[in-house]
Amino acid sequence: MKFLRKPEKKDWLSICLVFVLLGLFIWLGFKYFSIYDELKGDGLISTAKNLQKAILLYGNAGLLVIVFLHALHVIISIIPAALIQFAGGLIYGIPIGMAVGIIGVAAGTTVSFCLSRFLGRRILTLFVNNKTISKMDKLISNDMSTIALLILFVIPFPKDFIAYFIGLTNMRALKFFIISATGRLPGMFVATYLGANVIDNNPALTITVGCITLAALLFFYFFKDRVLDFVSAAQKSSQKE
């Protein structure tokens, strides 16, 4: 394997740590799926209610379990976020369900971003030259990139890996966290709201919100490419200027 610079002791420590963390994430993934298989019901509601029973067994510590699950779905990107958000609303209602969701997602995003920033960027310099890294930094620091990132967090898109990518760039952590939180809030609120209204037995509101959400999801599903193409074209135009 050819390196662009001579690896230092810190580089090898970083590489070893990355492999250890990957192994841990894989183990957590298999562990989660074994538990999920036991909880799995006939649909989202029945699965969330099974999860509710399991979490309530922890008493007040159940809040920490929900926070951990929210963080975990961001870090390893294979846990269905909607299920955890729905369960949070089902168990604790909207205010607390949203609060634990925001805390958990913030924690998971911080872990992902920091791992990438402090480990990944150092490893990246072993294989990618500084000129290419500078181009990547310039691309992501463009004003239109902020809009593109926000759209990616809002639309139905596998977004949990984004923190790992952004950690490789020079984007400020605070800026990314604000974009991430803002983009995730609408979807988190809808899932938490629907879960909370299962408790309140308010089918009319639940169906109405569900239909509006489905319409929005279908719109973004069929038109997301056009939206992203528009942002990409605007970004190229701003770079030329």
The predicted model gives 76-100 an average pLDDT of: 85
pLDDT digits (tens, 9 = 90+) for 164-180: 888 888 888 888 898 88
Judged by phi (left if over 0) then psi (alpha if -120 to 50, else beta), residue 59 lies in left
Domain containing 110: what range?
9-240
For tokens 């037995």, the residue is 201
Count of all residues that appear for the chain in the document? 241
141 domain residue, yes or no: yes
Q: Is residue 3 part of a domain?
A: no
What confidence tier does 101 reach under pLDDT thresholds 50, 70, 90?
very high
Per-residue model confidence as pLDDT tens digits over 64-73:
988 988 888 8
The total number of structural domains in the chain stands at 1
Whether residue 206 lies inside any domain: the answer is: yes
Q: Is the pTM of this model over 0.75?
A: no
